[in-house]
Amino acid sequence: MPVFSVKHVTTYSYAAPVRLGEHRMMLRPRDSNDQQLLEASLAIDPEPRRLRWIHDVFDNCVAIADFNGMTRKLTVESNIALAHNPFEGAEFLLEDRARFYPFAYDGDEMPDLARSIERHFPDPGGELDRWVRRFLHQGNPTETGELLMTLNYAIRESLSYERRVAKGTQSPLQTLARRQGSCRDFATLMMEAARTLGFAARFVSGYLYVPDRDEGETYLGGGSTHAWCQIYLPGSGWVEFDPTNGIVGNRDLIRVAVAREAHQAIPLHGSYFGAPSDADGMDVSVHVRKLSEESRLTSRDLDEGKKRGT
């Protein structure tokens, strides 16, 4: 089982001393059958007067920091290592009732899935409806897996990726109109398109492992946090779809937080007390490395990862 290390450093700079308000951090990956957290550390400078941990409404692990004093810089460094069991899902293990679209979710599932099925963005002219229904076989059955994979690849192939540091997420109609967007924009577009067809979808924030060039993969979105989505399929559960890179399944994706919308899964956000002009920039670096093919992380792996700057 591959072992990944992730070093994620965020630095906020200020033109004058400011007093920091509360900061919330979603940086600790979710333990699951496909990824097991082996090591985790969180270093914050200046050191907070109090650091506490909670689980939010989506069961994401959140660190909350409170500060004293004044500072001109805030640095948050997260280092994690986890065993990762990749699953590439060209074939979905679907229940018979879900093999072809449309299908209905089970009555027992609907109360928990309802908010993830509801559409979250207005589409007064039906533009998104028309766009997504191009992927259905009119007059013939449409295989559920084929439909979702086609949608996933269509976003990758027909839209241009841009690394966008500005806050917020484009609406699906904005992304279609601009024909470009960031990974969080593409994830939001796919979620809303899937919801248009009646699927339950949710947002995922995490990290992307970008293999070396000689491994034959070319990914977009590396070097920073990454975003994709999950769609709930009876028989398979929540299945990962990364429309930025056309990935189906969790291959090279490290899941940290899940939420109904993008703004609920921001990796790090907080406030400061000072003038708006005091904010002097933010720098983010993310380094993901594959340390081992073994199922357990050894001290040698950790030492080698640190020497490589992971």
> Using one digit for the tens of pLDDT, what is the confidence trace for 116-154?
999 999 999 999 999 999 999 988 889 999 999 999 999
Q: Are residues 182 and 80 in the same domain?
A: no
The reply to whether 54 falls in a domain is yes
d(CA 200, CA 220): 26
What are the CA-CA distances from residue 36 to residues 44, 57, 80, 82 (Å)?
24, 21, 11, 5
The reply to whether 89 falls in a domain is no
The reply to whether 261 falls in a domain is no
Looking at residue 282, what is its pLDDT?
93
CATH number, residue 297: 2.60.40.2250
Q: Which residues lie closer than 8 Å to 296 by C-beta, 6 or more apart? A: 3, 38, 83
Domain residues for 134?
A: 96-251
Question: Phi and psi for 256 in degrees, rounded to 5?
Answer: -110, -50
The reply to whether 242 falls in a domain is yes
pTM over 0.85: yes
Q: How confident is the model at residue 260 (pLDDT cuts 50, 70, 90)?
A: very high
How much is the average pLDDT of 2-27?
A: 97
Q: Are residues 54 and 104 in the same domain?
A: no
Alpha-carbon Rg for the chain in angstroms: 20
Q: Are residues 28 and 62 in the same domain?
A: yes
E strand or H helix at 303: helix 299-307
Under DSSP, the state recorded for 30 is: P
Do residues 22 and 44 make contact, with C-beta atoms less than 8 angstroms apart?
no
